[in-house]
Amino acid sequence: MKKVTNFVFLLIMIMIPLMACNNQSNKANVIQEEVFALGTIIEFKIYDDDSKKAKEAIDKSIQRIREIEDKMTINKDKSELIEINNNAGINFIYVSPDTFFVIKKASEYSKLSQGAFDLTIEPIVKLWGIGTDNARIPKQEEIDVLLDLINYEDLILDEESQSVMLRKKGQAIDLGAIAKGYAGDEVKRILTEHGIQTAFVNLGGNVVAIGTKVDGSPWKIGIQNPLDERGSHVAVIEVKDKAVVTSGNYERYFIKDGKRYHHIIDPKTGYPAEAGIISSTIVTDQSIDADALSTAVYVMGLEKGLKLIERMENVEAVIITEDNQIYVTAGLREDFKLSNPQFQLLENLN
């Protein structure tokens, strides 16, 4: 069983690359680009002597990201996902290998987390409208009507025909908690295939660190101090060739009568999750896994979330609870550097 390290304080986690440019060796050029896709700003930093190759790799990555978005969005006029949702309770819909793979992965994590992560959460997400101009607190009866539609077991996958169907009319899939992770993995694949050995890609907080920095040292990812302006960090995670993804109550929210309502919905209650966690970060090899797990752990709460992570190989976590504590799994402890003297290190969960 993994041990944990516990720091006392209240913060919100936002991952930012620290000294990514200034500490790099002069042996490689820095090629940077930003693009808006998947509803967020995506930042590329590639270190390579061949600027033309790096630019081509970035262009291919952006093209791939837009392909994924076009297939899996629910925020445009049409997509494969929208077609599935429109045909819920009616027909199977054939989808591309991309969409089938991501839906299957989402189904697996729905089962693994026993519904804490549930790909059929879309009707409730739409009802709340958090992150849109229509955000509101729904009436309890509105939530109750829709809760019966939230059930990952109502997903039917036909492997042979690569087709997908939902059992009940009104059901809908939302891949917002996993598709960005898949895009991160595809970006890493494309950059690697182009011979890029050193790169840092930030997909709106979903970080993909390829290799190490040019000098061979780990990438340093700062943990944002929630009580200060962006750019002020309280700790640093050092990683090599890893994906790092955070889910937190600060990402999208609104405040009503002094209470914060965030976008991470508990599928069992239909309300923003209140399991005692305010931020969960996953560090692992695949961005798609980190993306789904960060949401699952947030909804499950500290004890259940840690038990889930403990069962998994090559997966580490940083969990911040509402009682101002941070828990770091053992495999990440040596690479987690506290940078603010006001925080106290405790040795274990108890």
From 111, 93, 101, 250, select the one nearest 178 (Cα to Cα).
101
Is the distance from CB of 113 to CB of 129 less than 8 angstroms?
Answer: no
Q: Say which residues have a Cβ less than 8 Å from residue 303's Cβ, sequence separation at least 6.
A: none
Tokens of 30: 């820095």
Own/partner long-range contacts of 293-296 (Cβ < 8 Å, ≥24 apart): 293/109, 293/117, 293/245, 293/317, 294/245, 294/246, 294/247, 295/116, 295/117, 295/177, 295/247, 295/264, 296/109, 296/112, 296/113, 296/116, 296/117
Tokens of 272: 């923003």
Give one DSSP letter per residue of 245-276, joined into a string: EEEETTSSEEEETTEEEES-B-TTTSSB--SS
Q: Kindly give the pairing relationship between strand 345-346 and strand 4-8.
A: antiparallel
Domain spanning 75-166 has what CATH number?
1.10.3980.10
Q: Say which residues have a Cβ less than 8 Å from residue 307's Cβ, sequence separation at least 6.
A: none
CATH fold of 4-68+178-346 reads T-fold (3.10.520)
Per-residue pLDDT of the chain (350 residues; tens, 9 = 90+): 544 444 333 333 444 455 444 444 445 689 999 999 999 999 999 999 999 999 999 999 999 999 999 999 999 999 999 999 999 999 999 999 999 999 999 999 999 999 999 999 999 999 999 989 999 999 999 999 999 999 999 999 999 999 999 999 999 999 999 999 999 999 999 999 999 999 999 998 899 999 999 999 999 997 765 545 556 676 789 999 999 998 887 778 888 988 889 899 999 999 999 999 988 899 999 999 999 999 999 999 999 999 999 999 999 998 888 887 888 899 999 999 877 665 544 555 55
Helix (H) or strand (E) holding 293: helix 287-300
Is the distance from CB of 171 to CB of 123 less than 8 angstroms?
Answer: yes
Place of tokens 């990555």: 61
What distance in Å separates the CA atoms of residue 69 and residue 63, rounded to the nearest whole number? 10
Same CATH fold assignment for domains 4-68+178-346 and 75-166: no
What distance in Å separates the CA atoms of residue 227 and residue 276, rounded to the nearest whole number? 19
Is the distance from CB of 79 to CB of 200 less than 8 angstroms?
Answer: no
pTM of structure: 0.90
Instruction: Give the domain ranges of the chain.
Output: 4-68+178-346, 75-166
